[in-house]
Amino acid sequence: MSKYLFFHQLFVCKKNGEKSFHSTFSENVNIVCGKNTSGKSTVFQSILYTLGINDVKEKLDEIISEDVLFRLDFSVLDKESKTDYIFIRDDEFLFVINNDNILRFNGISADNSAEHIKLKEYIHSILGCNFMLQDKNDFVLAPIEALFLPYYVSQDFGWIYIRKSFRKLEFYKSFKDDYLDYYLGIDSQIDRKEKNDLQKRIDDLKQKIEIYKKIKDSSEVQTAKTNDIKDPGFIKEYIDKLNKINGDILEDEKNLVLQHNKFEYWRERKSVLLKIKDNHAHQFKDNQCPVCKQMLPNNTETIYQYYQETNDTVNELNICKKNMKGIQSEINSIEKRIKNNRESAKERELILGNRKINYSTTSEWIEEKAYIKLNDTINENIGETTIELDELRKEKKEKYSDEAIKEIRNSKEKEFRKIFINKLHELGVTRFDNTKYLNLYDINEFPAQGVELHKMMLAYYLSFYELTEITSYAHIMSLLLDAIFKEDIDDDNKLLLINVLSKSIKNNKQLIVSIAETEESQYNAEYYNENYFNNNAKIVRIGYSKNERSFLTSNTITDNKDIFEETLRYVNEN
């Protein structure tokens, strides 16, 4: 059974407690509703941002600028257990709470930063996946966005183009094919069948070459090579290099301690500044004395000083965050450098420790020459084995041609086509004249506009989601559908869309869908819930369906005091 991720609650708050958003989620259906531009899409973007997806950061700039914390509680379920997680994001910093374990990732705003790469590896691990994409000539772990792509439809491009809910993914070589192959388990099928024997032979040869290299790099052979050098200057250079490496290690170790001390200094300073900021926010609030609550007169100078102190605190906090990010990056670089230098020094010390100036017996001299001969023989064997390996790789490439892979993909396309046609029929969409729009590996967009395009896209997403469930190879997540109703969709088609959606979501899977409520429509979230979801859907209403730009609201911290204080404690104490 593949792992399944679903959400429990989302909490977003200003650190001073003035505004917040909080909603729990049903494990089945959740309807996010409100007026256009009220902040429905912000719910989805906040979920993704909290999980480390920077692609949506620009859309959240206005909220992020208010100095907010994002918290997401979710679980990952597999056949044997359920594991609970809390992710808390504070701009560049992400705190992960799993039972009593707390991880911190410092400086994750850049996807290519060392900390964000660590986060990507961590999320891959908790989802039990190893999704690789080709970046230039190397295969790398897929970005976090790719792990959510089948399960998230964005309001802007998601309902127009397939696989475009996130940007930049198409820059990976052969992204579409690798993406579909992974989620449909096609790579797994190939490995278990035709490729298995050939791949095993290739692996055996690769292992053979590695054994040859280990023998070649062994202390005995390397010592013999060192003793065979007639020029004594080589040994001096070898020792000088070792001394330099050891000197570099000592300097780096001193610097590492210094950087850790610096980091702790800025972390403690950040904690103190947060407390100062919180206390300062309650001073002169509404011109009241903090002790007796009487109204106090404020002159212009006092008011100016109060706001100047607030700005100074915010600026100092930004300096702390910037310094912590830079120091963490330096720590990562130093630790990597120390590790590499230690391995190099250990190898050189071993070689020099085994070196002989004179030979006690003729047999020692013969043994030394035998190792030198062994080194030459190994070089020849590596060359011959490499040629054999290249021939097998060529055979593999020829055997697993595009036609052979296409045949395997066709079997999955048939499954998809059957589901897709049924969804199109349920949505009242006329069959395509061009059959390429029914072939999973050929589809990039559909030849339609308006309501018809919207129906086709919904049919596609629901069909692909169902196919990933059937395949049960890759991880599965909650289905996040933002703005399922476009502005030009009439009431009859809205009912049709909701009807198909309600039949497609199984009781054991989570759906979070947003709809815009308008005065022109006679239907609202409560109507859909009662008539299509048996009153089991959780309704998340933004701005009371009346207000615009109302994701964060005032006077809500009192209702969420416990989660607010717990969230602040996690951030301030770690």
Instruction: Assign residue 263 the CATH number of its domain.
Output: 1.10.287
Q: Residue 90 maps to which CATH number?
A: 3.40.50.300
The least confident of 115-124, 165-174, 489-498 is: 165-174
* Mean pLDDT confidence for 279-294: 61
- Partners of 516 in the beta sheet? 34
* Mean pLDDT confidence for 285-300: 57
Model pTM score: 0.76
| 55 within 8 A of 167, measured Cβ to Cβ | yes
H or E element in which residue 197 lies: helix 195-216
Amino acid at 501: L
pLDDT band at 193 (very low <50, low <70, confident <90, very high): very low
Check residues 404 and 454 and name the one with the higher pLDDT: 454
Residue 213 belongs to domain spanning: 195-228+358-399
Residue 81: CB atoms within 10 Å? 8
- Partners of 189 in the beta sheet? none
Check residues 213 and 197 and name the one with the higher pLDDT: 213
Last residue of a domain, one of 322, 355, 388: 355
Assess whether 224 and 87 both reside in one domain. Answer: no
Instruction: Say what the pLDDT of residue 298 is.
Output: 58
pLDDT digits (tens, 9 = 90+) for 369-382: 676 677 778 888 88
Q: What percentage of the chain has pLDDT greater than the value 70?
A: 83
Residue 43: closest CA among 6, 74, 70, 16 = 70
470-480 exposure pattern, b = at least 16 Cβ within 10 A, e = fewer:
ebebbbbbbbb
Instruction: Flag whether pLDDT at 299 surpasses 80.
Output: no
Assess whether 289 and 348 both reside in one domain. Answer: yes
| 509 within 8 A of 479, measured Cβ to Cβ | yes
Cα separation, 202 vs 393, whole angstroms: 7
Cα separation, 238 vs 233, whole angstroms: 9
Assess whether 298 and 383 both reside in one domain. Answer: no
pLDDT band at 196 (very low <50, low <70, confident <90, very high): low
| Beta strands in 109-193, from DSSP E residues, in sequence order | 132-135, 138-141, 152-153
SS3 265: helix
Assess whether 77 and 164 both reside in one domain. Answer: yes
pLDDT digits (tens, 9 = 90+) for 1-58: 589 999 999 999 999 888 999 999 999 999 999 888 888 999 999 999 999 999 999 9
Q: Domain count for the chain, please give it.
A: 3
DSSP code at position 113: S
Check residues 384 and 511 and name the one with the higher pLDDT: 511
Q: What sign does the CA torsion over 383, 388, 389, 394 have?
A: positive
Instruction: Say what the pLDDT of residue 366 is.
Output: 66
Instruction: Say what the pLDDT of residue 164 is.
Output: 92
Measured in degrees and rounded to the nearest 5, phi and psi for residue 36 equal: -60, 140
Structure tokens at 443: 């589809």
Instruction: Flag whether pLDDT at 187 surpasses 70.
Output: no
Residue 277: CB atoms within 10 Å? 18
The least confident of 39-43, 218-222, 317-321 is: 218-222
SS3 477: strand
Assess whether 147 and 213 both reside in one domain. Answer: no
SS3 334: helix
**Beta-strand pair 101-106/93-98:** antiparallel
Residue 122: closest CA among 148, 146, 104 = 104
Last residue of a domain, one of 368, 399, 430: 399
Distances from the Cα of 168 to the Cα of 4, 135, 249, angstroms? 26, 12, 39
Structure tokens at 461: 């997403």
Assess whether 39 and 188 both reside in one domain. Answer: yes
Assess whether 470 and 555 both reside in one domain. Answer: yes
Cα separation, 442 vs 456, whole angstroms: 15
DSSP 521-564: -S--HHHHHHHHSTT-SEEEEEGGGT-SS-SSEES-TTTTHHHH
Amino acid at 420: F
Structure tokens at 400: 């697993």
Assess whether 12 and 64 both reside in one domain. Answer: yes
Assess whether 395 and 497 both reside in one domain. Answer: no
The least confident of 100-109, 171-180, 380-389 is: 380-389
SS3 538: strand
Tell how far CA 297 is from the center of its chain. Answer: 52
Check residues 101 and 136 and name the one with the higher pLDDT: 101
SS3 559: coil
SS3 166: coil
Assess whether 71 and 173 both reside in one domain. Answer: yes
Residue 570: CB atoms within 10 Å? 19
pLDDT band at 191 (very low <50, low <70, confident <90, very high): very low
Instruction: Say what the pLDDT of residue 192 is.
Output: 38
List alpha helices for 128-174, DSSP H: 144-148
Structure tokens at 401: 């041609």
Residue 550: closest CA among 22, 12, 40, 49 = 40
Cα separation, 515 vs 2, whole angstroms: 30
Last residue of a domain, one of 368, 383, 399: 399
Q: What sign does the CA torsion over 214, 215, 216, 220 have?
A: positive
Distances from the Cα of 314 to the Cα of 274, 306, 317, 353, angstroms? 9, 13, 5, 58
Residue-level length of the chain: 574
Assess whether 464 and 374 both reside in one domain. Answer: no
Instruction: Say what the pLDDT of residue 448 is.
Output: 87
Tell how far CA 510 is from the center of its chain. Answer: 20
H or E element in which residue 23 lies: strand 19-24
| 526 within 8 A of 18, measured Cβ to Cβ | no
Instruction: Flag whether pLDDT at 418 surpasses 70.
Output: yes
Cα separation, 98 vs 93, whole angstroms: 17
Instruction: Flag whether pLDDT at 131 surpasses 80.
Output: yes
Cα separation, 253 vs 247, whole angstroms: 10
Task: Round the average pLDDT of the chain to a whole number and report it.
Answer: 84
DSSP code at position 81: -
Amino acid at 506: K
Assess whether 254 and 382 both reside in one domain. Answer: no
